[in-house]
Amino acid sequence: MAPDDLKEIVQLAQRTPSWANSQPWQVYIATGQTLEKIKAHHLAAAQQGVSGNSDFPVAHRTQWGQQAQENMAKWGQELQSYLGDQMPQMSAAQAHLFNAAALVYLVLPQGATDWSVYDLGAFGQTLMLAAADKKIDSMPAYEIVRYPDAVRKLMGIPAN
């Protein structure tokens, strides 16, 4: 993936409106050797059955509201119907971080307000739309943030 394309995508996403124009986030992009190290760590941890420890707590499906549970169940059924016996390949792709050519990490400082989290979601969506406009596929996925301590270490992202 061309570094100039990645820079342009981030620059386009920076136009996203932000509450009080605070925009406290940072964007870290893993490519090359750093990306390969993240993928290798992730694969080893996943194969060893290491539990994820994402920075945001993960809610079990039963902890969501009824409509959300119905949406998740429907999506699961549609995915199963679409992929059929290729579901194991989907799991394998997750363990390999979807064979991504780059991983983008959106980072907020500790103590950021709830509005910053909201704004970061809007930024992330604009980032994905800018990528799509350049014919670059993207997706948000828990798997990518499953082991944040390793990502921080490998990317040099401060703990705060």
Q: Are 144 and 52 in contact (CB under 8 A)?
A: no
What one-letter code names the amino acid at 44? A
Q: What's the confidence (pLDDT) of residue 68?
A: 95
Angle at 30 between CA 89 and CA 59, to 5 degrees: 60
Residue 102: strand, helix, or coil: coil
Does the pLDDT at position 28 exceed 90? yes
Q: Higher model confidence: residue 148 or residue 86?
A: 148
- pLDDT, residue 22, reads 87
pLDDT at 35 over 90: yes
